[in-house]
Structure 1
Amino acid sequence: MSKLIILDRDGVINKDSDHYIRTVDEWIPLPGSIEAIARLSRAGYTIAIATNQSGIARGYFSEATLAAMHQKMLDLVVAEGGRIDCIQYCPHGPDDQCRCRKPLPGMIEQIEETLNMPAASAWVVGDSLRDLQSGQAMGCKVALVKTGKGIRTINKGEGLDNVPVFANLAAFTDFILEPSQVDISG
């Protein structure tokens, strides 16, 4: 069993916006998400983040601003007694033809290389179909959360056969750490 869990960022860990999270102040964790990451980390899981950040290519924010957002996230997780082991992001726009933008698996390949761990059978948790598709392309188990764009994803009804759905990252964490106690119907 893999002890690697790969999380999408916007909509899974922090509040999302159709207008992009552009500043450190706009980066606001979802209730329970920071604690959930810390619980997984303390339980021995390796935590990685894979996040599309096309706002960089669009000129909405800089890589320095993104680094500051990520530092805020890292600091909050450390304050709860956990850690994030790897953060990979795609700075490209949808038409840049890169290999890292989800639904392509490039960021997960980068995570494997950085952590020297196979991603096959790891969990990928996201709020959109593209998050799940990037994980499935690498042989990962996938889970959808209803936060962020999760409800929108469910309402589209595509590509979710046999995908467990959770109310949020905290509910997914409960499932991983206490599987007999959790209803996975979302």
Structure 2
Amino acid sequence: MTGIVEAAWPGLVLFDRDGTLIRDVPYNGDPELVAPMPGAAAVLARLRARGVRTGVVTNQSGVARGLLRVAQVSAVHRRIEELLGPFDTWQVCPHGPLDGCRCRKPQPGMILSACAELGVPTSATVLIGDIESDVRAGQAAGVYSILVPTPVTRAHEVAHAPVVAADLPAALDLLLPAEVRR
């Protein structure tokens, strides 16, 4: 596959949070437990150096389940930014799986909100995530979606994903034509 962008980078790259940008600690409300995924800092630095906007789209059902407070989620996000730098948008769904909201992945609400907030069309947006609901949300929003599997990613999710990358740096390479990958 050649890069999706023939001469330029995408305008916006959205990342899933847990398992994609940071190690997945279920219902994490403790900033001290935040650990970036391998390659995350370098990928973000490379995107920002090229003027690409970045954002996070994350389901945080622990809020709806009473396992987390919004203040804890915000504290974790502050720690992520301390470690990985600032993001142009944070989109958080605090709802549970049965709440029927339009924002919870695999629904496209957070992606569409991020694009609208930043004025970037979906055609210039990429979503990178580690599970099927991330990819399905991206597809529903009409953005280019890349699955970066982790040990929790199921085999059928990998088999059905339209684009799979071994890790975050490999996902970034998929976005570019070969001559720009340096």
TM-score range, shorter-chain basis? Answer: 0.7 to 0.9
After TM superposition, give the deviation of residue 118 of structure 1 in Å.
Answer: 1.4
Residue 95 of structure 1 corresponds to which residue in structure 2? 98
Residue 18 of structure 2 corresponds to which residue in structure 1? 10
Residue 131 of structure 1 corresponds to which residue in structure 2? 134
Q: Is contact 2:53-2:87 (8 Å) kept?
A: yes
After TM superposition, give the deviation of residue 164 of structure 1 in Å.
Answer: 2.2
- Is 1:74 aligned to residue 81 of structure 2? yes
In structure 2, what is the Cα distance between the partners aligned to 1:167 and 1:24?
27
Distance 1:64 1:104, change over 3 A: same
In structure 2, stretches of 5+ residues that fail to align are none
Greater relative CO, 1 or 2 (CA 8 Å, sep 6+): 2
Matched letter for residue 40 of structure 2:
S
Residue 164 of structure 1 corresponds to which residue in structure 2? 163
In structure 1, what is the Cα distance between the partners aligned to 2:151 and 2:43?
16
Alpha-carbon deviations, 1:80-104, whole Å to 9, x = none? xxx4111101000001111100000
Q: Normalising to structure 1: TM-score of the pair?
A: 0.83
Say how many residue pairs are matched: 173
Distance 1:157 1:43, change over 3 A: closer
Residue 108 of structure 2 corresponds to which residue in structure 1? 105
In structure 2, what is the Cα distance between the partners aligned to 1:141 and 1:76?
26
After TM superposition, give the deviation of residue 156 of structure 1 in Å.
Answer: 4.6
User: Of residues 144, 147, 156 in structure 2, which corresponds to 1:144?
Assistant: 147
Q: Is contact 1:108-1:135 (8 Å) kept?
A: yes
In structure 1, stretches of 5+ residues that fail to align are none
Q: Normalising to structure 2: TM-score of the pair?
A: 0.85
After TM superposition, give the deviation of residue 108 of structure 1 in Å.
Answer: 0.9
Distance 1:179 1:60, change over 3 A: farther
After TM superposition, give the deviation of residue 36 of structure 1 in Å.
Answer: 1.3
Distance 1:179 1:85, change over 3 A: farther
Structure with the larger helix share: 2
Alpha-carbon deviations, 1:151-179, whole Å to 9, x = none? x2x3455532xx22112112212333574
After TM superposition, give the deviation of residue 56 of structure 1 in Å.
Answer: 0.9
